[in-house]
Structure 1
Amino acid sequence: MLLIPALGVSTLYIVLTSLLAYVARKLVHKFINEPFVRALFFEGIASAELCGTCFELIIVADNFGISTYAVYLFCLTIWWSQNWGDATACPYTHLEDVVQGKASLRVAALKIWAELTGGILIYRFAHRRHFT
C-alpha cells in the first residue's frame, strides 16, 4: 500500500526539479542577452535537470521496477526534447565539435565547466533530500 505514496514522492521530486529548471531557463532567457553566456547557463541548467531527475529515476527503477522506470524515462525524454533547445548536458558533444572544427577548445571547455557546475549544484540538492 505504501508504493503509491512513495511513487508520488518520486514523481513530485522529478516534476519539481523539471519545473525549477523550466523557470530557470525562462529567467535566463529574459535577463541574459549575450548568446554565449546564455548558452553556458542553458548547459548548466540542462545538466542540473538531467542529474537531478536521473538521480530520482534510479530510485524509481529500484523500488518500482524497470517498466515504471521506462515510462518515466520516456516522458522525461520527450520533456527534455521540447525544453532544452540547443543544450546537450553532455560533454562529449562539445569535444566532438572541437574535433570537427565547429568550436574552439575554449568554447568546449567553458560549456563542459557549465555542465559540471550544474551537476555539482543539483547533487547537493539531491543529496540533502535523500540523506538528511
Structure 2
Amino acid sequence: MTHWLFKSEPDAWSWDQQVQTGAKGEEWTGVRNYQARNNMRAMKLGDRGFFYHSNIGKEIVGIVEVIRESAPDSTANDPKWDCVVIKAVAPLATPVSLDTCKVTAGLERMVLVNNSRLSVQPVTDDEWAIICKLGGVQI
C-alpha cells in the first residue's frame, strides 16, 4: 500500500463533509496541477491517505482510502485532468499540525513540510507511521 496526503481548505470541503459521504466517498475534483494529478494517477484501490485542512487549521485530521482509481475529473472541461474517489476511514484522535510536522524528527523531508502548496502528495511509510503515532492512530 502506498500512502498519500490530500489537502483541502475546510471552508471549501471539510473532514466532516468527507465523513458525511459515507461508504460511497467523494471524487477528489478540481486538481489542476500536473504533479498532483500524476500522484492521483499512481494511486491504487485501498491506498490510504491523510486528510489535511489547509489555510484554516493547517493540520492532518483524518485518514481516507482510495475507493476508485484515477478517472476523468467530472468537473473539468479538459480530459487531461483526473481524480480519484476517496472515503473517510477514521479521524485522528489528536490532529497533527503543520508546525508539529516541521519540528518532528523523521518528518523533515516530508513533502508537506517542504512543498506545502502541492494539493495531493506522497507520504513515505516512515512518515505515515510517525504521524499515526502522533495522531493516536493504531496502524
Q: Do the structures match in fold with TM over 0.5?
A: no
Structure with bigger gyration radius = 1
**Greater percentage in strand:** 2
TM-score after normalising by structure 1: 0.22
TM-score after normalising by structure 2: 0.22
